[in-house]
Amino acid sequence: MVNVAAILNGVLILALVGWVLYRQTVARPVVARRLVILPGILVVIGIAGISHVDNGLLSSTALLYVAIDLLASVALGGLRGCFVRVYERDGVMWRQGGVITVALWVVSIAVRAVIAILATNAGVGNISNASLELALGATLLAQNGVVALRGTRKGIPFAPDAVRHRSRGRYYSD
């Protein structure tokens, strides 16, 4: 029998990952509050998803896989943040990822897939599926935290919610 909810969830996650990968390569201003909005929403959704697995009574094996997943997600997100170009433009902080950033995203996805396969083989694949949003939110928070730290250490202020690009007369939003 086809699990429509799982397929729909997978499609939504793939679309979100595709959108995130695209956004990694586009130069854009760094707006402080936007560094946490999407990742925060994903973390909340992930925690809610995990709380519904086995009525919230998770085995030690399931908790171990969630911890491994989160540790790998945070570590790889922090590493990606080191390779994002952070610079000043129009007096505010901007960022742009490149080939290395995208390559590290591919590595992150591969590591996540291996963890999911191992969790499934250990009989706790349901927790791996439920924690996908949590892992994605955690990796984005780690990456954004490193980007913000690098920019503030350079003394570059965050951009306001909307930055007008002088040469094109358009507003960019992070």
- Is the predicted pLDDT of residue 8 greater than 60, yes or no? yes
Check residue 129 and give its pLDDT.
79
Q: Report the 10 Å Cβ neighbour count for 151.
A: 23
pLDDT single digits (tens) 10-64:
788 788 778 878 888 999 999 999 999 999 999 999 999 888 888 778 899 999 9
Encode pLDDT of 138-156 as tens digits.
999 999 999 999 999 999 9
* pLDDT of 54: 80
Burial of 69 (0-12, 13-18, 19+ CB in 10 A): buried
pLDDT in tens, 87-134: 999 999 999 999 999 999 999 999 999 999 999 999 888 888 788 889
What are the extents of the domains in the chain? 4-162
d(CA 77, CA 141): 8
- The whole-angstrom separation of Cα 88 and Cα 86 is 7
pLDDT of residue 174: 43
User: Residue 171: pLDDT above 70?
Assistant: no
**Alpha-carbon distance 103 to 106, whole Å?**
5
* Statement: residue 1 has pLDDT above 70: no
pLDDT at 3 over 90: no
* pLDDT above 60: residue 75: yes
pLDDT at 162: 67
